[in-house]
Chains A and B, each alone.
Chain A
Amino acid sequence: MLARELTTADVRSGLATHGYLTDDGLATSVLLALSLQRPLLLEGEAGVGKTELAKTIARWRGADLIRLQCYEGIDASQAVYDWDYSRQLLHLRAAEASGEARASGTDALEGQLYSERFLLKRALLRAIDNTSTTPPVLLIDEIDRADDEFEAYLLEILSDFQVTVPELGTFTATTPPIVILTSNRTRDVHDALKRRCLYHWVEHPTFDREVSIVQARVPDVSLVLARQVAGAVESLRSLNMYKPPGVAETIDWATALGRLGTTQLDESIIEATLGTVLKYREDHDRVREYGISTIVQAAFDRGLLHG
C-alpha cells in the first residue's frame, strides 16, 4: 500500500504484525512521517522502544534499514563518506610500477583515484544514493550523543537530501529515505533540527499495552504472570530511579521468570531475579528501602484478571 493511502489503523496493525505495539499517538506520528516524507524525531528514556520502532517500520515496509549509531566526535567521514586511502595507495603504487602513471599523466591518474570505486559510502550517503523502489529506513540513533556541529550537518542533509562530494559531484535522493532520529535526551537537540522533524515524546507504555507487549514477545508466559510483571515494573518506575526499567527489562524479566517456571511473583523470586530489571546498585537499594513486599502487593493486585 502506498504511504499516501495509509491510515493510523493500518500503521498500528502493520507494526503489530511485526511484533511492535503502538498507541494512536505514535501511530499518527509514523503515519505523518511516511506520508509527508518528514523525518521523525523520537525522544524518550532509554528502553521505551525508539530504536525498535525504526527497525519494525523497515520490516513492515519491506525496506532496507540503514543505521547510523551516533557517538561523541562522530563526523562526516564516518557518517557520510570517506575515501578508501589504503586502496587508493595500492592503486597508485601499481600505476607507478607499471609505468601507467607516467603514460597517462597526473590528471588522469587523479581522476581514477577519486572515482566512485574508491569512495566509501557511509550511512547517510547510502541512504541518499539508493536505487531501490522502496525508500530505505534511515535510523539516526541516539543523536544526543553527537556534538552540535554534527547536528548542523545533519540539518543540511535532511533539508535537501543531497550530498556533494567535491571530486565527484552531487548525489541526490530520487526518493527520500524514511528518516527516524532518536534521542535519549541526555542533552537537548537543537531547535532548528527539531523544527525540520515531526516530534514524538515516547513514554513508557501503559499497563495494558505493556501486558500485550509481554504476551507478544514472550508467548509462553501466562496472562496472569504477564500482568503481574507489568504491574511490578509499573510500581518500580514510580520510584524515581536512576535508571527506571524500560520495556526491554520487562521482557527480559518475563523471559527469565518463564524459564524458571514461575507462575506467580513472590518476594523471594523477585529478590532472585531483580538483577534483570535494575542495572544500578543505588536502584537496588532504593527498592529494598521501599519494600519488596509492597511491590509484590502491587503486582498481585494488577494480576487479578477482573481488576
Chain B
Amino acid sequence: MTDAPEETPRAEETPPVSTDETGSPAPVKSAGHPTSVPEAGEHHPQPVESPDEPEFLRSDAVEDDQADDSDFSWLDSDLPPDEDEDAPRSSAVARDRPLPEVSDDAGFRLREEARREDQSVAAAPKLPWLQRLREALGRSSSNLTGSITSIFTKRRLDDDVLQDFEDVLIQADLGVETAMRITDRLSEGRYGKEISGSEVKRVLAEEIEKTLDPVAQPLELDLDKVPHVILVVGVNGTGKTTTIGKLAAKLTRAGISVTLAAGDTFRAAAVEQLKIWGERTNSEVVARQIGADAAGLAFDAYDVAVKNKSDVLIIDTAGRLQNKAELMAELEKIIRVLQKRDPDSPHTVLQTLDATTGQNAMNQVDIFRNVAGVNGLVMTKLDGTARGGILVAIGSKHKLPVYFVGVGEGIDDLEPFKAKDFANAIAGIEAERQGAAAS
C-alpha cells in the first residue's frame, strides 16, 4: 500500500524545507549564513570566518545552495560562544523577578541554589514521595527478595549460588554483563564462605547504589537568563507527554512559570493531550495544526516563552524509534533552530525511558544521546512490576543524570530519583523492612 493521502505527513514526507528552516516569517538572511537576530545587545556577533575572506558569504549561493543550506548553514555561522562569554545572539532575557524558593526534595533546583547549597548543610527531610517510591519499588522487587532470601539462608557461596544470584539480577533487567559484574563483586573474598541473605542484599544494594549515586541528581535550572529550555525526547509511548505534565505541575507549584510547546505535530490528538496538561498546570501551550513543522513550532514557542517571560519552556516531541534516521534528523533540526534563538538552548534534553523496556533501552540512550544530545533521563512506569534494571547499565556507561522516576499516571506521580531507594528496593531491603513493620 502506498501512502494514504489522508495520513499526516511525517518527516520524510514533509514538503521541502524552505531556506528559512523555522517556517515562520523570519528576519532576512543572506543565503546559508544567517545574520544575527535584531535584538543583539552590546555583544555583536563575531563571525567565525576571518574577515579577509568575504566572498564565502555569497560564493555558494548559485551552485549547491540547497544541499548546503539544509545541512550545514547553522554550522557555518557563529559557533557556540566560548565557555563563559555571554551568548552573542541569545534572545534569552534576564529574569526580572526574584527567584522562587525551591524545597530540597523537589527533584530540581535553581542554579543559584546550587551555589548557595555548597555552604549550607543539606537537610534530610522525611517525605511523602519516599514512601510512595518505596511502595512502588518494593512491590516490584518482592519477587527478587523472595529468591534471594530463599537462596541465601545460611549457605556456602558456591557457583550454584552465584548463578542463582546472577539469575535474580537478570530478571530485574540488569542485563547479563551487569549481572555478572555484580555477581563477581559478590564472590570476591566471599567465595566458599557462609553468607547470609541480608549480607547478599547489602552487597547488591551497595553495588547498584555505587553505580547510580553519581547520576542521581536534581534537574538544575539556570534562571539567570530565561527561558530555560527543556526538550523532551524518547521512543513512542515511553511517557514524554505525561512526564511534561507532571514536571510542569512541579515547577508551577514552586512559582516557576512554564510555557509548553506541543512539538508532537504527528500523532493524532497529541496536541489535545498536552493542552489538557496545560490546563491542569495553568501553563500556556503553544501549538500548531497537526502536520506542521516541529522545528518551526519550537522556534515560535521560544518567542512566546520570551514574551510570556516564562522561566521554563518545555517542548514535547513526537515519539520516535531511535533507528529511524529521518525522524532523528528532525530532532537535530529542532535543536538547530532553537540555537538560533539562544545558542545555549536546549539547556536540558530530557529522555524518557520506559521501565518495562529491556536491553533495547541502552540502544535508545546511545542513539538519542548521540543525535539529540540527551543530557538527562527520566525513568517512567516504575509503578508496574518491571524493575528498570537496565538503568544500572545505562548509568555506568553514560553517566547521564537521572532526574525523576514516573510512578503512575497522576499529576503527582513524578518523584526525584534516589539511588539508594532504587538500589535498596531492587535488593529487597526496603520491602523487607516494610514487611516486618506490617507483620
Asked if chains A and B come from one complex, the reply is no
Q: Which residues of B contact A (CB under 8 A)?
A: none
| A binding-site residues for B, Cβ under 8 Å | none
